[in-house]
Amino acid sequence: MNSVAADVLRLLTVRGETLAVAESLTGGLVAAEITAVPGASKVFRGSVTAYATELKRDVLGVDGALLAARGAVDPQVAAQMAAGVRTALGADWGLATTGVAGPEPQDGQPVGTVFVAVDGPFEEGSGEHTGGKVASLRLNGDRAEIRMESVRSVLELLLRELTGEQTGNERAQDTEQNGGT
């Protein structure tokens, strides 16, 4: 999985952008995966492990009414966590994970229900928001497997956003810097 984190960090470095992470069910595993890559400090701002629901509200700015109505395991909560960590840590990109790793259901959601989110920068000149993707996952396995698949999924979601938004010139520049053709 480290190669996905390495690809993400390489693309962020080429783009001159930064990353912050908000984690719930993964409890710091996303940040650990990112910081395992040498040179991560060039782009990684930090992370917030908001395991308690009130921290999602108080630290990350997730709407308290949303949390009261739907609980912490919700796609909108994931989206607000990603946007909130971008703001709180001053990053260009924010990632978030929330869900149920087990062993018991939570907030009326079964074990394996996970939402991962990415929130990205505004498009230059337009003021239009280009980030803000949420993926809904139904994962199988034990607690450790669900958590690790959540890490992989959120990093791949960001990688898709970064590669989808690159211009041809940025791709060419990135390929040249990494010895490709």
Q: What is the pLDDT of residue 178?
A: 37
Q: pTM for this structure?
A: 0.87
Q: What is the pLDDT of residue 164?
A: 86
pLDDT digits (tens, 9 = 90+) for 156-173: 999 999 998 544 433 343
Beta-bridge partner residues of 98: 115
- Helical spans, DSSP H, in the chain: 2-15, 29-35, 53-58, 64-70, 75-89, 143-165, 168-177
Least confident range from 12-16, 19-23, 122-126, 163-167: namely 122-126
For the chain, give the percent of residues with pLDDT over 70: 85
Evaluate whether 118 touches 129 at the Cβ level (below 8 Å): no
pLDDT digits (tens, 9 = 90+) for 70-88: 999 999 999 999 999 999 9
Q: What is the pLDDT of residue 107?
A: 87
